Structures are given as structure tokens and as C-alpha cells.
Structure 1
């Protein structure tokens, strides 16, 4: 991997702006977010320090670090013993812990005459959390001290209502034949998510098809996510990732759309691509569509998720009735309709696009797939565990996942099922590899259920080690909750597990039925049913031959239908229909 020049002064200015905005707009939420990202050893020391702090917000942060969310919320519930300022801080903490009702109760308890700048800022954040765009902007503008927050809230409102940048037409633009620029939200080497891995796999496969490919990430990335030493360009496996790093980001999402379009236009003048390819969500599409129109080149919109549903999943069913949700769905449909080409991951997602007004024949399916590392013959479980140094798990029946650790993945269902199964399967062990906001709570739940000693939580694993962790598992579990987002979005992890010849046990949801054929490549169980999952695990634990058959059928399916080489051919056909062809 090669790195280019580092614009350190600009990055430091951008870092300072990011920190300043967070401190001014929402210091309590910032503290909670930092606490979730600290290394475990640092987090434990910080929690020990906070143990000596008085109750309220400090106690809530301490409990959140330890995965004790209910205890954290309990520390916030009483407010009759504190003044207005402390009640506002408790409201912010309650919102950060996912209890908007408790946040509202604290704010309502402050007398009207004492509702100063901090109160209106917290109230604006609560309105934004609920998806009330107008009320969030109105409340943020009440007090002049909240002027930065007011611009942010007004910009978000305008963006969701359809603000779109317009650039002057470039009359003399001459693209380089076969050159394609992907416009991404994040990327390797600074983000190792499934999104970043998919992007990298697509770029590498397109290069193999003969296209000249590179990528550029959103303005401010990766400085905004804590990498102030970022270079202007990273090269990973021969793929160049360019960064848009201004000294300052525009205030408000609508103005940021314009800034993104202008920075991207400058990059397009230098790189001279013949086609632009971007991904959800509509913020990327707003900038890319404007630039494509200005330069007279085609653009592709790749729908990788239902992000309105992802947003609503963390807020409850009432969020789907909010203006933000409604506008989010509208903007995504507009972006797909406006693009010259549309790509998505699965049939459920294609159906959503068709319902939004895109012709089914115009949607190209390029599902999540596996690359070279997963094409090689996988090691057996014993060899994988030995290489990982898990000698204490030799001969165990290991169930688990390699995943982002967020609430909608339903991993508490896995732990509860394991607790039911453990008394009759003393060889049971549970692996939950990955990181995310739900991880502390899962560790706490495992201890509460009495299965802590049976569980291993290695945290985020390097991409190079992901296949080894897959191989160390006897049964790969995807116990997703039944939510709109999980019913339509297909994950990558099941495909990787199948390619590793591991049977997949998954919630019986439409998106997962696209990836797991019950009784052939894995088993399906009713979402959220602890006992049914325990029975499915027990069945596989008792029958190694069944595990081997399901794993073998899963691997055959993955190698036949889910490879990046196969996807690259689909992208090539799509690009050809837009007049862009490889040069070799």
C-alpha cells in the first residue's frame, strides 16, 4: 500500500472544526461516542475513574462503557434533585442511550422561564432524533448561541426537502475512454466495513476487466472519523483512493452538497473519467448527478441499503411516520430515477426500487460476493482454531458470527439460545467477532446469562483474518431482527460463511431467504425465537455429517453464483450500455 502527500495543516484545521462543532452542538453525545470507541483497556480505566464521579451523566457514561445500559438509564431517571442545566445534560445522555421519552421528560421538567440556549439545543436534537425537520430547525434558531447548530439543522431540513447543487456546463470536457471514477462514502485502508470491502472488490474486478478505475471519498473523510494524518491519496492493491480534504467543511448538509459537487468537479477535471459511479445514500447522488450533468458524462447509482429503514430501525415504528423518513425515501427514489444506470444487491431491494418508480429492467443485480481469499479451499475448524491459538476450544462445537455488532443483528437472540442449549451441550462455545455499539451490552448479557466463560469476543478482526474466523466456526449464525431494513437488505457475511463451507443458520426473512436455502445450504428459524434457534443449533451439533453436507452445498452455491468476477461482467455490460468500454 502506497501513500501520497499529507495536507497536515488542512487536516488539523478540519479536525479542529469537527471537534469544535461536536463540543458546541452536543458534548454529552460526543462523550458517549468516544466511550464506545476507546480500546478495551482504556475504556476500563476510564470507567474506573468515572466510578468516583457523582451520579447522573458521568454514571451513565460509566455504565455504557461496561455494557450496562439499563443501569446507565436508571442513573438518569431522577431529576428532582438537580437544577435545570443538569436536567438538560441528562436529557442529552438519555437521547444518546436511545430513550427519547426520558429525554423529553427531563426537558419538560425545566420551567419555561429557565429554558436557555442549552435547553433549546437539546430540544432541537430531540426533534431531529424523532425526524421532525421543521421543529429541529426552529428550536435550534431560537437562541443566537446555537447559530452553528441552527445552520446544521436548517441545512439538513433543506437537504431532505430536495436541495440540489447546479454547476455550470463544461463545454470543452474530453473524457479518457474507459476511465471510471467511483465516488464513495468511505474506503480502505481507514475503514474496513463491508461497504469498503465491497467497493474495493468491485474496483479490483473492474480493473481486471480492462477499465482504468480509481475512487474518491466524500469531503472531509477520513479526517472526520479520526485520521488527521490522512494522505491525499492511498493506493491499496493497486487501486488509488483520492481524498477531498478542504480546510473547512460547509455548514449544513445542503451547503455541503454544493461543496461536495465543486470539489468533485475539480477532481474530475484532473482525472477526466468517462463515467461516474456512486452509492447510497442520496447525498452522494446529489453531488455526482450535478457533476455528471455539468460534464456531460453518464453516472451510475448503486443502492447498497435501505438507509431510511436503517435510520428508523434505531428509533421505533413511529419514526416511519416522520417527515425525515418520508423525505429520505423520496430522495432515494429520485436519485435512482435520475441516474443513467442503477445497481442493487438483491431481489428484495430491486422490488423496493421498482415500487419507487424505477423500471425493473433498468435495475442490474450485482449481489455481495467473495474474492480470492474465500475461493481457496478453506481450512477445517481444528486447523483454523489452532492457527488462532484457541487450543482451549479444540473439539468444541463453536457457533457464532463475524459481523458489525449493532442492535438489528439480533445477537442477543444468539446468546439467549446458547444459554438454553448450554446445559445439554457442554461442548458449546460462542464466537462473536466484530465491533459496534451493541458489543458492551452483549458482553454484559453473556455474563448475566451465565455463559460468559463459553463466549469469545475478539473485537474487530483484520480483514486478512476474517476467513480464518469463519473457518473456526462450526455453524455460522445470522439472527437478525424482523425489521424493514433486515427484510430487504442482503448482508455479505452469509456469502462468506457459505464460501468457507460453513452451514448458515439465519432468521427466516425475505433478504436472508435469498442467501440461505433451508435444508440445503443452511437452516432458517423464526426471527427472534430463542428456542427455535437453540433447537437448530442442537440439530447441527448432533449431526456433523449434516453440517458437512450443508457447508459443501453452500460453498458450491457461492462459487457458482457469488464471485466478483461474475459481478464484473455485469458491470461491464451496464457500462457498455452507457457507451463506456474497457480499453484492453
Structure 2
């Protein structure tokens, strides 16, 4: 089957399933795959052309896509005040959920009761809040001679089985592993995804190859077609690293079915590659596939804990989410997968403490922190040279960040701090490099400050440009919110900023305190406090010699303690020990 036809068939099947399952969430996710400079103006034009009192579904969708939360809430309140038919109320409940507004979703669901689409919307509301059993029960009552919402029900039942212990099953298969070969199972990768996750994976793979290991990286089933890359090939090579894609013409109908499909395909590739170890990353579904393949082949497997996805999910839903069935089952599943691995790798000491608390033996855990290599080891450009390369103002003072634009990064607090400083500092500019779900709302917030012409949003940029943007800043800012996930997980970007010789101002959270030495390489400030952030930024902006000293100190510290080559040396030594231990146990 020709690649384009295969990929198009795969994409069409996924789109059809997604539209049937959760159409407004799909539209929101799809819009984020498109250039913001196209989506946001088009949505703004549609919403602006509509009457101020319009509550038509397309108009509310336009408000959602352009990130105007105030406009969306106003129109939803108008719809509730006027009254609306049950079918439309169910659609507006779904729009409210896509906007992370469960309170209004509940109000619409009260109106939609008994109407068309109510059960499906009610199930999505339960699932949003983590009520797994209730979500299934909302659809289960719809069964009849012609099942309604059958696909949605099958997916939720399958998701429940994953949370409750289901795992792929593979037959024991004889294979003679080749020493110093490692198969990495990844969620996504370069060149199709430009993220901290993808960059860390690439750096690890390159460093392991430099250490004498042969690597093969296999990405999840359907990727990158699932993120809109219809021209994807079955293989990519990026700076000598081989990425293998799993691109069937069709995906299984349920999440569990897809994991079984992925496990079978990964086993097939492993038999060809013959690794001596399999290495995968959070979250637990990757671990289930890696474990099944490793056990079938009788080789060790490694689970790399890069984040706390249950806490990331809970961070957008309020404190009650941590009491939900979904959160608790997710945490239990993560813990079980970690305990079953031959080796657990993680990013920092705070995360190591969390892993120990799940019952993983300390001897099975190694810390491989986010690090730098390649161009970041070279002497960084000066501010003027970097700005000239990027076309930025030479005489401005520029603060900012290079980041994924998601709520827990706290970039709304950075925009608020900038707005406090801007009136008294006409040369101040705010630079935000990256993309993500928060981009439309941040752009709207910047406009509303009255200083929007001094805020620069670049969108996604290539990795070589990201390094130049680090070097163009006077101060790199990491204003993360105070959440479980941000207290534990250490990001990559501030490490790269320190390696670029720039001071870092960050939220005073345990994970960030592992990166930023307060007063030496940057400053730590109370999280979620724009006034305190503005004060710290103002003090550094007024003291160029201190900024330079902090930048030099930060670079020296990173080069001494955080390089990918050092991480690779630790990892491959642990691989050999795990392989030797597995060999002794199998005798």
C-alpha cells in the first residue's frame, strides 16, 4: 500500500472516531495543529461578525478557538438565561468541557436531560472529572436493539480495563540478543514534534550511540499521522538516530486493542533488531507494551519516569480531582509498572523521592537529569549577536521564555508581571517562544494589558533557533504554578538557558530549586505572585553585571553536572547490570 494512501486511510479513520466520540474537543485539538496566525484571526473574525447576543454553536466554537474565555463565558451565560432546547444544551455542555469549565457544563446538562446527545455529554462530563464507573453507566443505560454511542461506550470500557490491570499478551519468543543494542519505545519524536520530551529523547539516543551502543527508536502506534503528518514515512533519520514508525492502515477500535496491536508490531521489530534491553518512558501504557515485549523475549526493560501525568491531568481540574477514581487508578497503575521494571530512570531527586514512596527499591533507581550537549556546549553568542541573527531590537531589555504554552507553566503570571513593569520601562519587551493550548488566551491577555505591541509570540521554532532565542534574552523566566506536577518535575528549557549563559528567574518549587541556585545562577520567587516576580525581574534588569555573573555561574554549573554524555555513561552501565541480572535469574 502506498504511504500517502495508507496514511490518509489511517487519518480518516481516526478523524471519524474522534468526531463521533468528542467533536468539540477534536476541533480544539485539530485547531492547535494548524498555524495560530491562521486559526486565531479566522476565529476572531467569525466571533466579531456575529451579533453580540448570539449564542449560536459556531460562534461559541469561534470564541473557544480564539481563546477568548471572557467572550465564551458571556455567551454561555446568555444561553442559560434565555433558555435553550435540550439538544443544543448538550452541545454547549461539550463546548464548556472543551474550555475546561465543568461548572457551566453541569448547568447545561441540567437543561439537556432527556434530550438528544445528553447521555454522551453526561459521560464526557463524568470522565472529565475522573468518575470512571459513572461515565460508563451514563452510556450503558442507552443500550438497545440499535446501540447508541456504541463506540464511545466501548472506548470507555476499554480505558477502564487498562486502569484496572489489563495488559497486552504476547507468546514467549526465542531471540538471541545482541550486546550493546537498545530499543527505545517513545510517545513522539523529532522531526515531527518539537518538544522537551522529543529533544531529550534525541539527546539520549545520540549520547548512547557515542558511547558505543546501537539504538533503534520506535514511536507509538499511528504516530506521526495522528498529529497530522500525512506525508510521514515508516522511518526517519535525525542526526544519525533511526526512528521507526508503526503506521498500519487501520487502528484497532479500542485503546486496549491498539496497545495489543502496538505490542505485536513492536515485538516484530525487536525480533529483527535483537536488542539486549528495551527502554521506554512515562506514562504507563508505554510501560505495558515495553514490559510485554521484554518478557516475551526474556530481556530486561527500563522505565524512564519523565513526568507525573496523573498530576498533570489533575492540575487542570482542581483539588477534588485527586480524590477521583480515575486519578487513584492511574496512580496505582503507574506504581505497579514502575515496580515491575528492571530499572527506573528519572530526572531529579524530588522525583526519585516520589518513586521510592511507591515501593520501588532504591537500588533500581538512577537519576539522569535534563542536560545539554551538542551546540549548547559551545561558547554562547552574545546578546547583540543573537538578536541580530533573529531580527530583534538591539537596545531593548528582553525577558521571556522558551516553553510549551500550557496552563501549569504559569505564563499568565509572566504576562501580568510584564504589565506591571512596562509602564516605567519603555524599552522592556516580553518574548514568548513556543506553542500550546494557552497560546490564544495569552495573546488575548497581552492585548488587554495595553502593551501588546511589546509582546512577541514566535510560535514553534526549530531547535537551532530556540538556542539563539535563549541567548537573545536578558533574563529567562520559569513562572510555573504551584502544583504537585511542577513541584516534582524538572523541565529542560531552564537548563538550556543556564548553558546559554543567561540568568534564570523561576518559581520557588523543589524541582526548580534543583536547577536554579538562588542568588548564584538566578533567583527563586514565590509562585503565582506576579508582583513578586516583577520585583525580582526589576532588580536584575537594573544590574547588568549581576546578570552576567549569574549567567556565567549557571553555565559553569551545567557543564560540570548536566551533560548528556555523563547521563549516557550512567545509563549504559546500568543497562549492562540489568542484563547481567536478568541472565543470572534465567539460568
Query: What TM-score do the two structures reach when normalised by structure 1?
Result: 0.95
Select which of 7, 16, 20 maps to 2:3. Answer: 7
Contact 1:6–1:232 (Cα < 8 Å) also in 2 = no
Look up the match of 1:179: 181
Q: Are 1:17 and 2:13 an aligned pair?
A: yes
Residue in 1 that maps onto 2:254:
252
How far 1:333 sits from its partner (Å)?
0.8
Q: Does 1:40 align with 2:1?
A: no
Shift of 1:541: 0.9
Contact 2:96 2:102 in 1 (8 A): yes
Confirm whether residue 369 of structure 1 aligns to residue 366 of structure 2: no
1:490-569 equivalent positions in 2, closer than 5 A: 490-569=490-569
Could you say if the C-alpha distance between residues 46 and 426 of structure 1 is closer, same or farther in structure 2, counting changes exceeding 3 Å?
Answer: closer
What is the aligned counterpart of 2:84 among 74, 82, 85? 82
Which stretch of structure 1 is more off in the superposition, 242-251 or 77-86?
77-86
How many angstroms apart in 1 are the aligned matches of 2:458 and 2:2? 32
Q: 1:469 to 1:475 in 2, by over 3 A?
A: same
Distance 2:2 2:499 in 1: 39
User: Comparing 441-450 with 71-80, which one deviates more in the overlay?
Assistant: 71-80
CA distance in 1, matches of 2:525, 2:315: 21
Is structure 2 residue 161 aligned with structure 1 residue 165?
Answer: no
Matches within 5 A, 1:353-392: 353-390=355-392
What are the within-5 Å matches in structure 2 for residues 162-561 of structure 1? 162-170=165-173, 172-390=174-392, 393-561=393-561
How many positions carry a matched residue from both structures? 571
**SS state of the match for residue 148, structure 2?**
helix
Tell me, yes or no, if the aligned pair for 1:56 and 1:76 is still in contact at 8 Å. no
Deviation at 1:155, TM superposition (A): 0.6
Deviations 1:510-534 (A, max 9, x none): 0000000100010011001111111
Change (3 A) 1:244 1:303: same
Deviation of 1:506 after TM superposition, in Å, equals 0.3
Distance in 2, matches of 1:572 and 1:258, equals 29
Provide the rounded CA distance (Å) in 1 between the counterparts of 2:47 and 2:452: 25
Contact 2:47–2:63, Cα closer than 8 Å, also in 1: no
Bigger shift: 544-553 or 419-428? 419-428
- Once residues 214 and 33 of structure 2 are traced to their aligned partners in structure 1, the CA distance between those partners, rounded to angstroms, is 37
Pairing of 1:133-172 with structure 2 (within 5 A): 133-143=132-142, 144-170=147-173, 172=174
Match of 2:128 in 1: 129
8 Å contact kept, 1:400–1:430? yes
Distance change (3 Å), C-alpha of 1:52 and 1:423? closer
How far, CA to CA, are the matches of 1:55 and 1:554 in structure 2? 52
Contact map agreement 2:302 2:342 (CA 8 A) in 1:
yes
C-alpha separation in 2, matches of 1:532 and 1:378? 30
* 1:225 CA displacement: 1.0
TM-aligned CA deviation for residue 22 of structure 1: 1.2
Provide the rounded CA distance (Å) in 2 between the counterparts of 1:572 and 1:140: 49
Q: Deviations over 1:126-165 (max 9, x none)?
A: 1111111111122233331211111111011110111112
d(CA) in 1 for partners of 2:115, 2:383: 60
CA shift in 2, pair 1:9/1:37, >3 Å: closer
The Cα offsets for residues 310-331 of structure 1, whole Å up to 9 and x where unpaired, read as: 0101111111111111011111
Q: Which runs of 5+ in 2 are unaligned?
A: 582-587
Q: Specify the SS of the correspondent of 1:467.
A: helix
Q: Distance in 1 between matches of 2:580 and 2:452?
A: 55
**Maintained 8 Å contact 1:155/1:251:** no
Provide the rounded CA distance (Å) in 2 between the counterparts of 1:56 and 1:478.
39
Shift of 1:257: 2.3
How far residue 464 of structure 1 moved from its aligned partner, in angstroms, is 1.3
- Deviation of 1:419 after TM superposition, in Å, equals 1.4
Say if 1:408 and 1:481, in contact at 8 Å, map to a contact too. Answer: yes
Once residues 314 and 41 of structure 1 are traced to their aligned partners in structure 2, the CA distance between those partners, rounded to angstroms, is 26
Partners of 2:308 and 2:560 lie apart in 1 by 27
**Per-residue deviation, residues 399-430 of structure 1 (Å, max 9, x unmatched):** 11000001111111111111111222222111
CA offsets 1:79-124 (integer angstroms, 9 cap, x no match): 344211111110000000010111111011124xx334x2111111
Is the contact made by 2:303 and 2:344 (CA closer than 8 Å) also made in structure 1?
Answer: yes
Question: C-alpha distance in 2, partners of 1:56/1:128?
Answer: 26
CA distance in 1 between partners of 2:494 and 2:449 (Å): 27
Counterpart secondary structure, 1:457: strand
User: 3-state DSSP class of the match of 1:566?
Assistant: helix
Shift of 1:46: 4.5
Structure-2-length-normalised TM-score: 0.95
Q: How far did residue 258 of structure 1 move? A: 1.7
Alpha-carbon displacement from aligned partner over 1:357-392 (angstroms, at most 9, x marks no partner) = 0122321000001121111111111111111112xx
Asked if 1 retains the 8 angstrom alpha-carbon contact of 2:277 and 2:579, the reply is no
**Greater Cα shift, 87-96 or 264-273:** 264-273
Q: Which runs of 5+ in 1 are unaligned?
A: none
For the residues of structure 2 that align with 1:231 and 1:297, how far apart are their CA atoms?
29
Which segment is superposed worse, 247-256 or 325-334? Answer: 247-256
